[in-house]
């Protein structure tokens, strides 16, 4: 397992060790002890999620607030995504910074998203299976987000406009500017 820092404080890329042989491959997709020893992250994951999306889907930018804030450990089982983190932690030295990375079934890279960061991804191949662990349970009432196509964030999702597909919920998400205003009032 190799751990690489990103430009966002406490967000890490994890490259698992993959054992290949004539049958195929094997790797430990998660090992609590090794993960904690190597990353020094003491997160206890309590929920695993999986979603499937076709090319052009953009999910995000999402987080849960307050006591329901979630750290996430993300990977792609099949297909390819552009994964994005926006640091929305006011107290963070990297507040407002954006990190993007391609996660795919071949590179098997995983991404650790700290609590308080907004997270989203665009889907670059049909039938992409996205899988992630969370350290807090889903709580609908605490969901917060920013519109993924917000112009001031200017995230290049690598999907042409006419192919982008967002959920109705995500189409109604606020701008980054409004999100910041709401947050600073709290």
Ligand X SMILES: Cc1cn([C@H]2C[C@H](O)[C@@H](COP(=O)(O)OP(=O)(O)O[C@H]3O[C@@H](C)C(=O)[C@@H](O)[C@H]3O)O2)c(=O)[nH]c1=O
* Residue ranges in contact with ligand X by CB under 6 A: 49, 51, 59-60, 62, 119-121, 138, 167, 169
Tell me the C-alpha distance between 124 and 117, whole Å. 22
Least distance to ligand X from the beta carbon of 119, Å?
Answer: 4
56 Ramachandran zone, left/alpha/beta (phi>0; psi -120 to 50): left
132 is catalytic: yes
Of the pair 108, 119, the CB lying nearest ligand X is at 119
Tell me the C-alpha distance between 106 and 109, whole Å. 8
> From the candidates 12, 62, 119, 147, which is the catalytic residue?
62
Of the pair 38, 41, the CB lying nearest ligand X is at 41
Tell me the C-alpha distance between 65 and 116, whole Å. 7
Least distance to ligand X from the beta carbon of 140, Å?
Answer: 7
Q: How many angstroms separate the Cα of 47 from the Cα of each of 115, 132, 135?
A: 14, 8, 7
Least distance to ligand X from the beta carbon of 112, Å?
Answer: 13
Residues tagged active-site: 62, 132
């Amino acid at each position: 397992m190799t751990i690489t820092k990103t430009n966002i404080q406490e967000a890490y890329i994890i490259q698992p060790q993959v054992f290949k042989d004539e049958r195929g491959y094997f790797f430990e997709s998660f090992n609590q002890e090794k993960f904690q020893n190597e990353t020094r992250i003491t997160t206890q994951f309590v929920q695993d999620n999986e979603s499937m999306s076709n090319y052009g889907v953009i999910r995000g930018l999402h987080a849960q607030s307050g006591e329901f804030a979630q750290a996430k450990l993300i990977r792609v089982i099949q297909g390819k995504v552009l994964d994005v983190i926006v640091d929305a932690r006011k107290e963070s030295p990297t507040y407002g910074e954006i990190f993007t990375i391609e996660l795919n079934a071949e590179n098997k890279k995983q991404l650790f998203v700290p609590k308080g960061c907004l997270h989203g991804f665009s889907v670059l191949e049909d039938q992409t299976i996205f899988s992630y662990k969370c350290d807090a349970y889903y709580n609908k009432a605490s969901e917060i987000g920013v519109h993924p196509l917000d112009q001031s964030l200017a995230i290049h999702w690598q999907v042409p406009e006419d192919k982008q597909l967002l959920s109705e919920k995500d189409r109604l998400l606020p701008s980054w500017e409004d999100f910041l205003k709401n947050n600073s009032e709290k």
